Each structure stands twice: as structure tokens, then as C-alpha cells.
Homo-oligomer: A and B are copies of this chain.
Amino acid sequence: MQGQMQAQPLLISTLLTHAERHHGSQEVVSRRVEGDIHRTTYAELASRSRQLAKALAALGVQTGTRVGTIAWNGYRHLELYYAVSGSGAVLHTLNPRLHADQVVWIADHAQDHVLCFDKTFLPLVEAVASRLATVKHFVLMADREHMPTQTAIPNLLCYEDLVSSQNDAYTWPQFDESSASSLCYTSGTTGHPKGVLYSHRSTVLHTFASALPDALNLSARDVVLPVVPMFHVNAWGLPYSACMVGAKLVLPGPGLDGASLYELFEAEGVTVSAGVPTVWQGLLGHVQSKGLRFSTMTRTIIGGSACPPAMLDTFEDTYGVQVIHAWGMTELSPIGTVGILKGHQQALPKADQRAIQSKQGRGVYGIDMKIVDAEGAELPWDGKVSGELMVRGHWVVNQYLKGDTSPLVDGWFPTGDVATIDADGFMQITDRAKDVIKSGGEWIGSIDLENIAMAHPAVAMAACIAAKHAKWDERPLLVVMKKPGAEVSKEELLAFYDGKIAKWWTPDDVVFVDSMPLGATGKMLKHRLRDLYQDHLQAQPACAPGTPVSA
């Protein structure tokens, strides 16, 4: 017996149509590559997206055609989000921080037919254009005035010319909601990148879940500034959720330094932002050094990697900005868990609340999760036992693009994270499966050790890696980048662990570095550190401070 309600597909175009009809005068503000601030509205954005959809069709873009972008967060990129997916083609956002060879490999693997890019990335595209075998059209996201007079790219098209070549008389097509809408490649640390192919259905359901009060809590009263790039897992879905709820969008373009961000936060009345910890470090550094305050920002979503507790304290105690810790993956569209307190936790002492907020959060409706032992048996939710985190749900990957073997285990996606889950459902990542330090047969979680180091006033960034050890197989080695002008000795840092963890977890040694290797999405590349320092302890004296004592 079938229900008798209206059957309509869940399509990305309906998010834009809703914003246009119900929030047509709401603003979308962008800091452009050109340097100025650009203002538009959802009504205008919708109209231009329809023009763009027609222009792309004229370039041969059809249902399923991949359209690549290499672009900052800005209104033109947003128009591409809707014009490409809305018309039934597939938006492929490329990460400009990747090596040129990787860009070529990914664009070729995706078989991009068109490549649209910001002027910032003209040198990159010029360098690779001749190697992009499938790309038939290159589009510079600029107006005629900003087109280069000379370029190595043949027949370089002007974005604004394309838009203005069409009127906006276009009706978004209706099609199967399981159709592919967009494509992101994971920045795998080993092997080739893997493509995750989202559908309209997975995207709209993710949008619903991500906007809920216990997730990103988005409304028409919000002014949202996604620092997280639109080339990185669809900026955590904010280009979609902002349209669903009619929030004002502020897109920072290339201005991701603390001063540029702060200026935009204040000028546009930003209420909520989202990004990785490294970005917030830059912002907080600017705000602290100038003695500034946030006058409208009420909360910030921190994900991508764990938020150091010290950063959480600074945001909340010094600046009154609520930190919403979230966890996700490219394979999860990306949102899996969000760290909002439950009702009964609101009465807890602040320190206990902070401890909960430091976890990665609880599962949003639509995501199932479990932790399993090495044999795949489910482990209890007691907040103590850790195991590999497995997830499944409407917006979890089923298969990678052109994948041959399923990444799933009994229908669950193995995240590669090692985590605990407590009785309230709060998940805490204790390590990446590959970053766990196995000392004398016992696991030591590197993240705890890093967080403690990060709480030291002289430490800017810290990584804890497994170094080879003759007796214990592996022992923790702390790699530290100091804050500019700050001083701290190895002995002081190791003593800083006293009383905070089991004695045998204390790192065996400290290596000071001038810079940390960061990946394309701002995450620390710990495998690079391992390559450099995994033999470090082999050359050490046998009884350095912190040598493990048997349990």
C-alpha cells in the first residue's frame, strides 16, 4: 500500500528556488579576487545561475557532464554550484593546494569537460592546461576587464561574457534524485586520491540534518561566513544550508588571514563561521595581538581536525563565542557528529561541559555509528573502550568513483579513525588508526598528547608521532613548533605532562621545528613527520626522561 502524498525529487535546484522565492532580498556578500567587496542577493544569484546553466549547455555540458572548478569562496563559485548541479551536470571542486600533477591526475580521472577557475589560479591552470586531456573549455571566473591580455590557455573564456550571453528564461529540469550532483576527491595521504560522488538526494538530506538546532543551527537570522573552502567537501554544505534557511552568506574569497577575516566578520555582522583549527589560530592571533572583540559572532564551528582545548577555552571564556566541535569526512558529505550539549548536561560544572565539548560530538539523525574491535565486534558505549569508528547513512559513500572493490564492511564505512563513544553518544577520536602509537603492546593516543602540548603557552603547533623503539617497538615523540618569540625547553615541555596522563604515556623526546608540514586542507601531515623522525629515538640515550615504566 503506497502513501498518497506528492512525489517530488529531492533536487539541489529546489534549495535555490526556495531562497529566491522566500528570501529573494537576502544578501550574498563576497570578497573578490579583484580585491573589492561584491554584494548580491539570492534573487539575483538565482537569475544568474539560470543564465549560467544555459551558457554551460551551449558549451556542451549535459546531464552527468563533469564541470571542474578551482576557486575561492565567492558568488561566482556559488552560481556554479547551482548552475552545474541544478542543470543535471556534476560539479567537481578541485583543491588548488594540491600539486600540479595531482590536479592533472584528478581532472583526468573525473573527465572534466569544462574547468572554471579564479584568476589567482591562472598560473596553475596555465601550467597544466596542455596536460588536461578531457577539458574542452577553460573559463576564467572574471569579467572582460580582468581577462589576461596574453595566456598560454587556448580559447580562454570569460565567465561574465558567458553569463551575459544568455537570458534567465530557464526552468530547472526534474530528474531522478539519486543522480550525481557533485564530486570531491579525498586528499589521501597515500595512493591516488579517491572521488566521492554525491547525489542530489544525499546532498538535500545532509542539508536538512546539518541545519538542525543540534547541528549547525542555521536560520534566516544568521549571517554565515564559511572559512572552510568551497573546494573542500562543499564547504561543509553551507552553500546549500544557507539557501535552505535563507541565511545571509559572506564569502571571504582569498582573504583567509586573521586581519581580512576579522574585518569581514565585523563589517557584515557575521553570527556564525566554520573552519579548521589552523585558520582560527590565525584569527585569534590577530584579535589577541590587536586587543579586539567579536561584536556579532555568537558561535563558530570547528572541524577538519580536533579543536585543541586551549582554543576552545579562549573562544568561550575570553571572547564569548560558542565553539561547536564537529567531525566529518569527505566520504560523509561531510557531517557525522556535532558536539552540542544535551539537556541534562547543561547543569554540569563548566569543566565537565568543556570535557564533553572537546569530544567530536554526537551523531546527527541520519548517521548510524559504532565502534568495533579488530575482529569487527561492536564495542560498548562507555566512553573508555576505543575501537575503529564505522558509519553508515544517507550521505555516506557507498563506492568511490570508478572503484572496483567496495570500501564498506558489512554495509558500514570504516572511517580509519579510532574512537570512544560515551553513554550519551558523544564520540571522541583518540587517534587515526594509522597514527596510534603501539608501545609494548598497548595503545597510546597521539591526540591527547598533542592537546596537552598545545595547552602550553609557548607552543604554536604540536604533533605526536610513533618513533621506533628497540624495547617497546614504538614510543611517542613530540614534534613542536614554538610561538614566535616564545621559548620553552624540552625538559619543561615533558614536565608539563606530569599528572595529566599516565606516566608511561609521556613522550620520550621532543623535536623542535620551524614549520609544520600542512596538507591542502590545512591538516598536519603526520606521515611526513614520521618519515623524518621515526628513527629519532634509535639514536637516543637509553634512559631519557619519560622512558616507560612497566604498568
- Measured CB to CB, the residues of A under 8 A from B are 1-8, 10, 14-15, 17-18, 21-23, 25-26, 63-64, 90, 176, 178-181, 196-202, 205, 208-209, 211-214, 217-223, 244-248, 333, 340-343, 346, 362-363, 365, 368, 392-401, 403, 411, 413, 423-425
Contact = CB atoms under 8 A, between A and B. Distances in A.
A266 to B, nearest CB: 17
Contact of A213 (B8, B64, B245): B245
A196, A198, A246, most chain B CB atoms within 10 A: A246
A362 B22 contact: yes
B393 A8 contact: yes
A3 B245 contact: no
Given A5-B202, A178-B7, A214 B209 contact: no
A3 B223 contact: no
A387 to B, nearest CB: 16
A220 B364 CA distance: 11
A175 to B, nearest CB: 11
Contact of A398 (B6, B199, B246): B6
A3 B202 contact: yes
A398 B212 CA distance: 28
Copies assembled = 2
A3 B392 CA distance: 16
A199 B395 contact: no
A201 B22 contact: no
15 contacts: A2-B176, A3-B200, A4-B199, A4-B399, A5-B197, A5-B333, A5-B397, A5-B398, A6-B394, A15-B365, A212-B213, A212-B219, A212-B244, A213-B217, A223-B343
A2 B201 CA distance: 11
Given A22-B362, A211-B213, A181 B3 contact: yes
Nearest to A181: B3
A48 B316 CA distance: 42
Nearest to A337: B22
B220 A23 contact: no
Given A6-B396, A246-B342, A363-B22, A1 B222 contact: no
B199 A5 contact: yes
Contacts of A343: 26, 220-223, 247-248
Given A8-B393, A342-B246, A179 B365 contact: no
A6, A63, A90, A219, most chain B CB atoms within 10 A: A6
B4 A398 contact: yes
A396 B208 contact: no
A473 to B, nearest CB: 36
Given A6-B396, A244-B365, A245-B214, A342 B178 contact: no
A201 B399 contact: no
Contacts of A64: 1
B3 A199 contact: yes
Contacts of A392: 6, 8
B63 A397 contact: no
A245 B364 CA distance: 8
A411 to B, nearest CB: 8
A201 B363 CA distance: 21
Given A4-B197, A10-B205, A10-B394, 14 more contacts: A4-B400, A5-B202, A5-B394, A5-B398, A6-B393, A14-B365, A18-B363, A22-B363, A208-B208, A212-B245, A213-B213, A221-B343, A246-B342, A247-B343
A84 B542 CA distance: 68
A285 B176 CA distance: 53
A365 B198 CA distance: 21
A211 B208 CA distance: 9
A303 to B, nearest CB: 19
Contact of A209 (B17, B208, B397): B208
A5, A214, A346, A365, most chain B CB atoms within 10 A: A5
A199 to B, nearest CB: 2
Nearest to A21: B425
A310 to B, nearest CB: 26
Given A15-B365, A208-B208, A221-B342, A197 B3 contact: yes
Contacts of A424: 25
Task: In the A-B complex, list the 6 residue pairs whose CB atoms are closest, starting with the nearest.
Answer: A3-B199, A1-B64, A5-B202, A208-B208, A213-B219, A22-B425
Contacts of A23: 342, 425
A423 B3 contact: no
A2, A247, A413, most chain B CB atoms within 10 A: A2
A136 to B, nearest CB: 18
A196 to B, nearest CB: 7
A341 B221 CA distance: 8
A61 to B, nearest CB: 13
Contacts of A223: 343
Contacts of A411: 6
